[in-house]
Amino acid sequence: MHTDTDRCVRAVQAKDARFDGWFFTAVLTTGIYCRPSCPVVPPKPENMRFYPSAAAAQQAGFRACKRCRPDASPGSPQWNERADLVARAMRLIADGLVDREGVPGLAGRLGYSTRHIERMLLAEVGAGPLALARAQRAQTARLLIETSALPMAEIAFAAGFSSIRTFNDTVREVFALAPGELRTRATRASGGTRDGRPTATTGTIALRLPHRAPLCPDNLFGHLVATAVPGVEEWRDGAYRRTLRLPYGQGVVALRPGHEHIGCQLALTDLRDLTIAISRCRRLLDLDADPEAVDHLLRADPQLAPLVDKAPGRRVPRTVDAAEFAVRAVIGQQVSTAAARTHAGRLVLAHGEPVHDPAGGLTHLFPGPERLAGLGPEQLAMPRTRRTTLTTLAGALAAGEVALGAGSDWEEARARLAELPGIGPWTLEVIAMRALGDPDAFPPTDLGLRRAARESGLPSTPAALTRRAAEWRPWRAYAVQYLWATDDHPINHMPPA
């Protein structure tokens, strides 16, 4: 979009928040870059330059605006809508892969040369993988500086910088303030506290997750809580809480719905996991979606329009761990939601990794594929065919034969899953919808979906419903959420506070 100058200028002059994250506005006269909705008086059009990413604006020599904080904009929805090389690379960079494994590691995951990936990212995003990772480190550093009382040296390494000098130079360059000045400014603005809470020193970080309006939290939090695995997930004091398995350690997150943002409180055993944890929480709640585009297309169908108008902005509840969700999808085959929770809870209690959660009742991490792959049939209390499916799936995930991570190829993952015994069309599409994040995933054999379609005046047979759903592409997964919401099931209702 950044190449359509006239459209960008109109968005900036209207302070249209719908375009935050789609592009960034750099101002030649001030040397700063902003999000389109920046509250300051818009500059003259001839002084504006537009960039597709914060990293591209930083690379061009512009610093972040202190008023609108463009580095904290919602991410571009393109990276969750697409499955091409650039989108897969952007998802992996957001998941911290470049910081952990470097550009060669990114290239290895994607199956292309480092030169080709660099060329593709520069052409579309305006910055290479190192610059994109650097911009992400800068944002993480700012979060830690402003929301914690950690020493600057600890923040530097937690944010992924290789040295304190690089950390200081980057913060000064991106924000035009030294790290200490950023902290002093944040302390004065909050009256001596961070975000209204006492400053933290023990790895607990409180922050806000931005999103594009509208957002309907009912099915989002309702689904997560109604299907919550005991010990791994819970609803407590108006927040959805769950344990996290992260590259450097464990974590516990509490996500609280709000009108303008999602409140997020993270307790991490290693602060180097902060960037990855934020990325996975955003993915869990589908916060980088573009609800205006989704709802506009779905409203064109007269049967869906009343459902969209009733509660616009529905998101697709996803997952923080694709492998975990795939296993849970198998456990949930042909059983009720309550039964699936019971079976999963027993599995967690017997084979999960214990966690410490003094703030709530979480007890375990969900067992990883490596642990599950080694279980004998007698250790799984479920029908024989489902036991075989579960252990075969876990073995394929542990061996890397099936890749379901942030950078996976959606069609290749579907093909590999379909080769496994017991993975039918319903399981395949549910995994694609919630674990892979494919916005066009569609399970036409789902009984709840077929019942909702019939009651809404839509075809209810799988073949006919699939033909009708062609009009909803590429947002069929969102259409599923609107149709499911017609049923009076706990997944569709916000849990009581």
Which pTM does this prediction carry? 0.90
Rounded alpha-carbon distances, angstroms, from residue 194 to 58, 150, 223, 347, 427:
26, 12, 31, 39, 44
Angle (CA) 41 211 181, round 5°? 60
* The CATH homologous superfamily of the domain defined by 5-72: DNA Methylphosphotriester Repair Domain (3.40.10.10)
**Structure confidence at residue 74 (pLDDT):** 83
Q: What's the CA gap between 133 and 121, in Å, rounded?
A: 12
**Structure confidence at residue 193 (pLDDT):** 53
**Which parts of the chain sit beneath pLDDT 50?**
194-201
**Structure confidence at residue 410 (pLDDT):** 95
Burial class (CB in 10 A: 0-12, 13-18, 19+), 186: middle
Other CB atoms within a 10 A radius of the CB of residue 269 amount to 15
**Structure confidence at residue 103 (pLDDT):** 96
Measured in whole angstroms, the distance separating CA 484 from the mean position of its chain's CA atoms is 22
Q: Where in the chain is the domain with CATH 1.10.10.60?
A: 82-147+150-189
3-class secondary-structure state, position 156: helix
**Structure confidence at residue 199 (pLDDT):** 46
Q: Which among 492, 491, 489, 483 has a CA at the least distance from the CA of 455? A: 483
Q: What's the CA gap between 111 and 72, in Å, rounded?
A: 30
**Structure confidence at residue 203 (pLDDT):** 62
Biggest distance spanned by C-alpha atoms of the chain: 72
Q: Where in the chain is the domain with CATH 1.10.340.30?
A: 201-497
The β-bridge partners of 250 are 245
Architecture of domain 82-147+150-189: Orthogonal Bundle (1.10)
Rounded alpha-carbon distances, angstroms, from residue 385 to 188, 359, 381, 388, 423:
62, 39, 12, 5, 11
- The DSSP 8-state label assigned to residue 194 in this structure reads B
Contact 168, 137 (CB under 8 A): no
CATH number of 201-497: 1.10.340.30
**Structure confidence at residue 191 (pLDDT):** 67
Q: What's the CA gap between 497 and 238, in Å, rounded?
A: 4
Structure tokens at 354: 């214990």
Q: Which residues are catalytic?
A: 34, 446
Rounded alpha-carbon distances, angstroms, from residue 55 to 137, 367, 455:
11, 37, 48
Report the helix count and the strand count for the chain, using DSSP H and E. Answer: 23, 11
End-to-end CA distance of the chain: 41
